[in-house]
Structure 1
Amino acid sequence: MRTIKGPALFLAQFIGETAPFDSWDGITRWAADCGYLGVQVPTSDPRILDLARAGESQDYRDEFLGIARQNGVDVTELSTHLQGQLVAVHPAYDAGFDAFAPPALRGNPRARQEWAVDQVARAIRVSRLLGLDRMATFSGALAWPYLYPWPQRAPGLIEAAFDTLAARWRPLLDLAEENGVDLCYEIHPGEDLHDGVTFEMFLDRVDGHRRANMLYDPSHYVLQQLDYLQNIDIYRDRIRMFHVKDAEFRPTGRQGVYGGYQGWAERAGRFRSPGDGQVDFGAVFSKLTQYGFDGWAVVEWECALKHPEDGAREGARFVRDHIIRVTPHAFDDFAASRVDRAAIDRALGL
């Protein structure tokens, strides 16, 4: 067993236009002041991390890590959620996801995809250069519009979508292997990898690639009504990242899992700050600790009700209170006796 590291904070939801959220120095000072020991860093905003400079300049990397450490936090992992999303985009989502790409590439899906693949590859290399061994990402999605089996899908459509998805990611997984970095796909609605079955469909097509792993976030499983504790039992060897995010699912006579096109606050299933929802985090931390999870507990703030800065400060305390310092010995060692073969034989009647 291992003691989980933390608390850490995913910065994506906090980067903004005003201080302290508009600079690397400011946001890391703020995170440390909230009680965090680490930060998970998105790679889509050069104010926080310039991927091109990080790949080219040791001085820039040293400064980046040095500012974080001076301010009291470690860099836990890099994230390519937005770029990973663009590795595979169904045409129905072109307009919505174009905003994730540079303006010059919008309206050009092929160029956007090439840029996204290059960005993920850069982030893999930069992860290694920063001494990190895992990276968060999304898989993207080609089959998501066909989630519900009506109208009937054309034979082979889902298989072709997953074949294509695997073909796009295989070179990146191989690059991750060369650099000693695990790609941790956040299992998330809107992605083709949104539950255990779809993760396995992908894994089969990349020949069980050892760098294809999971970012475990129980909130997404609550909203799908999936057993988030058994999920740890099944995929413990593939879970390499952990987002601490809560959720609640309260179906009514009017709406359920699909939410009736309502906004987040009005949906039967909605995200909440840690401790405000229905996730049994005591059991989650216990299982991850039991199975030797060696990563960070990273708060991802996404709450339909609470102010983000309140959620961040509360989240740090919440994680700290849930991390289990593993015991160095069994509780009943005080009653242990020395090995005595003769006594063993007598006890067994031998």
Structure 2
Amino acid sequence: MARDVTLCTGQWADLPVEELCKKAADFGYDGLELACWGDHFEVDKALSDDTYCARKRELLEKHGLKLHAISAHLVGQAVLDVVDERHKSILPEYVWGDGDPAGINERAIEEMKNTARAAQKLGVDVVNGFTGSSIWHLVYDFPPIPRSMIDAGFDLLAERWNPILDVFQECGVKFALEVHPGEIAFDIYSAERALAALDGREEFGFNFDPSHLIWQGIDPAEFIRFFPERIYHVHMKDSAVTLNGRTGILSSHLSFGDERRGWDFRSVGRGGVRFEEIIRALNHINYTGPLSVEWEDTGMEREAGAREACQFVKNVDFSPSNIAFDAAFDN
């Protein structure tokens, strides 16, 4: 069971998608996970131009690349967030509009509904993304936080995301939240609560990414075991914790790549994630979807890194055994 190894295009959106297709095929990837920004996949064009999705498929097929999922992280972030000037750089102009936060929230909701419709036209059944969070700023419990404020954050998740997920259900598409700091779900127990807030509806699951869990002290494989029916997509990404007595796990408001940070992203195999345990856990839950490399390593040249990452993932993946190792003794 060799899973397809795909490349998430979000970190390559500075390149035209046709150029990236050529590179990804040369690097050895089996497919792409198209981001809904740059010219990689444009939701508005997918819905307004009846030839758009077919042309995207033809481009991928020309380079021998498959497509299992698209990514809508940036617009999804604006659904629950308290919007400010940070969001302007990540949103399409037609979602940002006049910059009024309440209007942006509403337009982001509509764009996520349209993303489900666009995914259906494109012929993919998973949209990866973020939800945003109205309560992330409350992650540290001081000044003391009334539980009602946390409850309100999860109530808002249900209020804003259930109508979106209704459209996902109509389109036969699943939404896979990348559990991540800054989102309504950032670890195992907040993810469990998010599922409960949405009444466990099947349209909502997870894009598993170990790099966001390991630096929090969470065993990424345990996340897979905790949510065996909800792993709808997998990112292969690594991170390294480098606490030396001066560095801190909250990273001191330092940018990625700064050596004074207490943790940072790494190319797969160059950080602290035990990817063999990830594969064993995925085998245990019978996950047969793609392994999508989300390449982020500010200390490494990205083309060399992406090529190496592709081969690393292919090397680390393996099929589960179909017999017990000691079955021969039964005879």
Task: Report Cα offsets for 1:129-184 as digits up to 9, x if no partner.
Answer: 22211110101010011100011113411111110122100111121111111110
Does structure 2 conserve the Cα–Cα contact (< 8 Å) formed by 1:4 and 1:296?
no
2:306 is aligned to 312
Letter in 1 for 2:36: T
Match of 2:114 among 97, 106, 122: 122
Q: What pairs with 1:182-221 in structure 2 (closer than 5 Å)? A: 182-221=174-213
Matched, 1:59 2:51: yes
Does structure 2 conserve the Cα–Cα contact (< 8 Å) formed by 1:78 and 1:123?
no
1:98 is aligned to 88
2:128 is aligned to 136
Mapped partners of 1:90, 1:59: distance in 2: 36
Letter in 1 for 2:265: F
Q: After the TM superposition, which segments of 4 or more aligned residues of structure 1 sit over 4 Å from their partners?
A: 326-337
Paired residues in the alignment total: 327
2:77 is aligned to 85
Does structure 1 conserve the Cα–Cα contact (< 8 Å) formed by 2:13 and 2:37?
no
RMSD of aligned C-alpha atoms? Answer: 1.7
CA pair 59-155 structure 1, distance change in 2 beyond 3 A: closer
Matched, 1:244 2:242: no
Does structure 1 conserve the Cα–Cα contact (< 8 Å) formed by 2:128 and 2:207?
yes
Structure 1's unaligned 5+ residue stretches are: 338-350
1:31 is aligned to 24
CA pair 121-252 structure 1, distance change in 2 beyond 3 A: same
Match of 1:5 among 3, 8, 12: 3
Mapped partners of 1:322, 1:102: distance in 2: 37
Q: Which secondary structure does the structure 1 equivalent of 2:207 belong to?
A: strand
Letter in 2 for 1:316: C
TM-score, length-scaled by structure 2 = 0.93
TM-score, length-scaled by structure 1 = 0.88
1:302, distance to aligned residue in structure 2 (A): 0.9
1:249, distance to aligned residue in structure 2 (A): 0.8
Does structure 1 conserve the Cα–Cα contact (< 8 Å) formed by 2:68 and 2:125?
no
Mapped partners of 1:49, 1:132: distance in 2: 12
* Rg comparison, structure with higher value: 1
1:261 is aligned to 253
Matched, 1:42 2:35: yes
Does structure 1 conserve the Cα–Cα contact (< 8 Å) formed by 2:79 and 2:132?
yes
1:335, distance to aligned residue in structure 2 (A): 5.5
Mapped partners of 2:28, 2:247: distance in 1: 38
Q: What percentage of aligned pairs have identical amino acids? A: 29
Letter in 1 for 2:88: D
